[in-house]
Every structure is written in structure tokens, then in C-alpha cells.
Amino acid sequence: MHARAPQTQPLTPHGIAGAGLRTFFRIAERWQLSAEEQMTLLGLTSPSTFYKWKAHGTTRLSRDTLERLSYVFGIYKNLQVLLPSEPLADSWVRRPNGNPLFGGGSPLQRMLSGNVADLYVVRKHLDAERGGWS
């Protein structure tokens, strides 16, 4: 008799939102992001919403927030692949960078402009460093 593969349940919108936020907050801790920096990356303007999400999660995220999370996750993943140690990978976002994309500032400064497009630019730069899309 063959063993049956365990049934997996599809992620519900609540599951996606919860998992996405938990992952984001773990990355934010590793990157040593302030609450204000986290809010900017998430596209939030309301501190009460931010702290509610941090404490209790949420069942829904906007398309904009999901897109922002996707870029942050891609940036994080690329750094883990490209750099030889976790501390080096985690500190990359804060280090000054001579690449014209960053104008001598840090990649985080670019990411904190508040525009989703700037998260995209940083992600695309790292994708290119890896040799293409991940």
C-alpha cells in the first residue's frame, strides 16, 4: 500500500497577509530598521495601523503593500545569496554605495524615498548582480 502525501491547504488571504508581515518584521529586525523606516517601506502613514499590524497582524493587505513586501523579500534573498555572511548581507542596505543608483548614499536611503519604484530599482540592481531574475 502506498502512503498518501499529506494534504496541504492553500493559503488564505489572512494567511498570506500574516505570513508576509511576520517575514517583513523579521527582515526589519535584521536590518535594524526603525519603526518609521518600516512604515515607509510598507507604505504606511498611520502609526496606529503599523503598531496594530506588528502586534496582531491583519487579514488583508493592499496590492501596494503586497508589492512592497515582494520587493523587500527579493532584496533580502538576493543579499543572502550574493554576500558571504549574514552580518555582511544584513548591513549592506545601510552602507554607503558608490553605484550611481545610490549617489554615494546607502541603498536604504533610496528605498526610503517612499516610492515603490525605488524598491524595484534596488531589487533589479541586485537581480542583475546575481545574473538575472531569481
The count of C-alpha atoms lying within 13 angstroms of the C-alpha of 48, restricted to the half-sphere facing its C-beta, is 0
- Residue 2 in any domain: the answer is no
C-alpha pair distances (Å), 15 with each of 45, 51, 61, 70: 24, 19, 11, 15
Full residue range of the structural domain in which residue 60 is found:
13-130
pLDDT of residue 134: 46
- Residue 101 in any domain: the answer is yes
- Residue 97 in any domain: the answer is yes
Contact 12, 61 (CB under 8 A): no
- Residue 3 in any domain: the answer is no
Report pLDDT digits (tens) over 48-64: 999 999 999 898 999 99
| pTM score | 0.86
Amino acid letter, 127: D
Please state the domain count of the chain.
1
- On average, the pLDDT of the chain sits at 90
pLDDT, one tens digit for every residue, the chain (134 residues): 555 655 555 555 557 898 999 999 999 999 999 999 999 999 999 999 999 999 998 989 999 999 999 999 999 999 999 998 999 999 999 999 999 999 999 999 999 998 999 999 999 999 999 986 54
- Residue 4 in any domain: the answer is no
